[in-house]
Amino acid sequence: MATGHSRKETTKCFGERCFVADDGLWSRLYGRPYLLLVLSPLFWAGNTVASRLAVGEVSPMALTTYRWSGVLLLLTLFARRSVLADWPAMRARLPYMLAMGALGFTIFNAFYYIAAHFTSAVNIGIIQGALPGLVFVFAYLIVGTRAGMGQLAGMATTLVGVGVIAIKGDLSTLASLDFNAGDLMMLGACVVYALYTVLLPRRPKISGLSFFAGLSVAALLTSLPFLAAEIAMGQYVAPTAFGWALVAYCAVFPSVVSQVFFVRGVELVGPGRAGVFINLIPVFGSILAVLVLGESFRLYHAAALALVLGGIFWAEWSKRGEAG
C-alpha cells in the first residue's frame, strides 16, 4: 500500500525546448526561465548596492577574500563529486584556471569594491553597461572576431553613455580632466571582465560547476596577497556585524544563486534569448541605488542609461539582422 502523496509531473515547453517538472515549490521556480533570468541580474545589481553599503563596514579586499571563502564553503556541499571527476583535466590547465580566477573574480571585484568608495552605485550600475562593447573590442584584438557596422555603432553608443557618466554631463570636465577616480576604476573593472569573457571559450572541457569551483579557489588564493597589502597599508577594516551580512549576501546571491539561475535560464530558452536579460543590470542597479541608498538620479544619468541600453539593443538587433 502506497504511503504519502505522489508528486504530479507536468511538461513545460519554451519554443522547441521542453522538460518535465514536478509540482514542488523549487521545481516550479526552476521551471520558470523568465523569472530566473530576471532574478539573476537583480542579484548581480544587488552587488552594486552592497559595494556602497560596505564602505566603513568591511574593507574592499577583506570583502573580496571573505566572499570567495564563503562561496567555497557552499561549493563543498554540492561540487565535490564534480570536481573529483574533472580533476585530471583541471590539473592540466592550472595556470589558465589561476589566471582566469584572478581576472574575472579577484581583480574585477577588487576594482569594483574600491570604486564604490569614490563613486555612486548609480554610476557603477550604468558603467557596467560598457561590458558588451569592451567584449567586442577584445574579441577583435585577441581572436579576430569581426563585427558589422550596426554592432560597432551600437557599441560606440554604449561607450558614449559611459562617457556621459564620466563627465557627469558636463563637457567642461574634458577641459580640466577632472574625472571621478571611482568611475575610472569601475571602467577598469569592466576592461578586466571583458578580457576574462573573451578568454572563457578556451576553458578546459569540464562541467560548468567544476569550472566555477576551480575559479573560486583561484580567486581566494589570488586575493590573499591583495588582502595582505591592504593590511600592511593600514587600510584593513574588519567586518562589522552588518559587514558580515554583506559578505554573506555577496557570497550567496551574486556569486552562486545568480550563476545557477542564469545557467538554468540559458538551458531552458537558449543563450540568445537569455543574454538580453543581462542588460537589466544597469537598470536594476540604478533603481536599487535610488530606493535603498537614497542616491539622486539626475538627468545625465537618464541620458547615459538610455545611451547604454539603446546601444546594446541596437547592437543586438543589428547582429540578428545580419545573421538572418
- pLDDT, tens digit (0-9, with 9 covering 90-100), for 270-311: 655 666 677 778 888 888 888 899 988 878 778 877 877 777
pLDDT, residue 168, reads 64
pLDDT, residue 39, reads 92
pLDDT, residue 215, reads 93
In this structure, is residue 202 part of a structural domain? yes
Grid coordinates belonging to 297: 538620479
pLDDT, residue 38, reads 87
In this structure, is residue 23 part of a structural domain? no
In this structure, is residue 24 part of a structural domain? no
Q: Specify the DSSP element, H or E, that contains 164.
A: helix 149-166
In this structure, is residue 18 part of a structural domain? no
Handedness of CA 141, 145, 146, 152 (dihedral sign): negative
- pLDDT, tens digit (0-9, with 9 covering 90-100), for 67-119: 999 999 999 888 889 999 999 999 999 999 999 999 999 999 999 999 999 98
In this structure, is residue 14 part of a structural domain? no
For 204-245, the three-class secondary structure string (H helix, E strand, C coil) is: CCCCHHHHHHHHHHHHHHHHHHHHHHHHHCCCCCCCCHHHHH
Q: Which residues of 72-87 are buried (b: 16+ CB within 10 A; e: fewer)?
A: eebbeeebeebbeebe
pLDDT, residue 8, reads 52
Number of domains in the chain: 1
Q: What is the pTM of this model?
A: 0.77
Phi, psi of 17 (to 5 degrees): -100, 120
The half-sphere exposure of 15 on its side-chain side, counting CA atoms within 13 A, is: 10
Number of C-beta neighbours around residue 8 at 10 A? 9
Expressed as residue numbers, the domain containing 230 is 35-323
In this structure, is residue 5 part of a structural domain? no
In this structure, is residue 92 part of a structural domain? yes
In this structure, is residue 73 part of a structural domain? yes
Q: Specify the DSSP element, H or E, that contains 163.
A: helix 149-166
Give residue for cell 559611459.
Answer: 162
pLDDT, residue 194, reads 87
Q: What parts of the chain have a pLDDT lower than 50?
A: 1-7, 12-22
